[in-house]
């Protein structure tokens, strides 16, 4: 799956699934526009992409700000001239059942997980149309199934799934494909950043061996491999799909 000559925007590129995806595109010769909040980490990832044979530009941005989509798109065009692929991998999670979900928690989940990818898709759409490009959104098994204690996160990811389907049918006449991946528990910093300490996180990963039929949590490279496939010509007749990649977690009841 060579991406030589392809220009790929990856958000959330400083950690987890986004970083693994950026590095994987780099190994396939892609030219990356790396988007994240931490300039020093972006520089590290860019160096890794270049060492692997790819090219990289960086954009330090909070994707919830008003001008972020235009800044990202403009940076991609200035660095490489066009856009072939957009990967929306940035995301956050917060715990809270219905009565414990504050307006602030709700608004943050929607702003980062839903509104930010929507706005970047909208900004990139004219340029992706020129290249008959592809969008891959990083959703979650929580978008496909309901799990207790993370209500706002569940809703935000279910909305990402339907955003994917709606955008896919609208952009199909232009030759742009839009798909999403729905990971199960994956070993990243996502849960730690939500406030889970190391002891609880270790117990959470151990429990994941039971809740995922294949007996383990995922690794970022597992998800990156599917993202690359969906972005490639090998998936040229696929659009509007929301694909579980979760060790079979979506096959089970909440437990």
pLDDT digits (tens, 9 = 90+) for 21-80: 999 999 999 999 999 999 999 999 999 999 999 999 999 999 999 999 999 999 999 999
Render pLDDT for 157-206 as a digit per residue (tens, 0 to 9). 999 999 999 999 999 999 999 999 999 999 987 766 766 778 887 887 89
Asked if the model's pLDDT at residue 246 lies above 80, the reply is yes
Q: Which CATH class is domain 7-245?
A: alpha beta
Strand order in the sheet with 85-88: 55-60, 31-36, 7-11, 85-88, 134-138, 177-183, 242-245
Alpha helices in 52-115 (DSSP H): 68-80, 103-110
Structure tokens given for 247: 């060790």
Over pLDDT 70: what percentage of the chain? 98
The interaxial angle of helices 39-51 and 16-27, nearest 10 deg, is 30
Q: Compute the Cα dihedral for 227, 233, 235, 240 and give only its sign.
A: positive
Find the mean pLDDT for residues 132-150. 96
pLDDT of residue 195: 65
Spans of all domains in the chain: 7-245
User: What residues act catalytically?
Assistant: 153
pLDDT of residue 194: 61
β-bridge pairing 55-60 and 177-183: unpaired
pLDDT of residue 168: 98
pLDDT of residue 192: 62
pLDDT of residue 132: 98
Alpha helices in the chain (DSSP H): 16-27, 39-51, 68-80, 103-110, 116-131, 151-171, 190-193, 198-211, 220-231
Model confidence pTM above 0.85 = yes
Burial of 232 (0-12, 13-18, 19+ CB in 10 A): middle
Rounded mean pLDDT of the chain?
Answer: 95
């Amino acid at each position: 799956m060579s991406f030589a000559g392809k220009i790929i925007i990856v958000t959330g590129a400083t950690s987890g699934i986004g970083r693994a995806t950026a590095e994987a595109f780099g190994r396939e010769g892609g030219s990356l526009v790396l988007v994240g909040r931490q300039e020093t980490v972006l520089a590290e990832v860019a160096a890794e992409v270049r060492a692997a044979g790819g090219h990289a530009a960086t954009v330090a941005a909070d994707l919830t700000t008003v001008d972020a989509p235009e800044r990202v798109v403009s940076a991609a065009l200035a660095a490489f001239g066009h856009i072939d692929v957009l990967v929306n991998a940035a995301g956050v999670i917060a715990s809270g059942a219905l009565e414990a979900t504050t307006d602030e928690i709700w608004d943050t989940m929607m702003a980062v997980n839903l509104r930010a990818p929507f706005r970047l898709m909208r900004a990139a759409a004219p340029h992706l149309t020129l290249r008959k490009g592809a969008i891959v959104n990083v959703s979650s098994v929580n978008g496909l199934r309901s799990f207790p204690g993370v209500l706002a996160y569940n809703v935000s990811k279910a909305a990402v799934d339907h955003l994917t389907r709606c955008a896919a049918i609208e952009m199909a006449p232009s030759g742009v494909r839009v798909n999403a991946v729905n990971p199960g528990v994956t070993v990243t910093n996502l849960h730690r950043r939500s406030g889970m300490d190391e002891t609880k996180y270790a117990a959470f990963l151990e429990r994941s061996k039971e809740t995922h039929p294949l007996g383990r949590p995922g690794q970022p490279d597992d998800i990156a491999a599917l993202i690359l496939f969906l972005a490639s010509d090998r998936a040229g007749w696929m659009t509007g799909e929301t694909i579980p990649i979760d060790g079979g977690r979506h096959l089970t009841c909440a437990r």
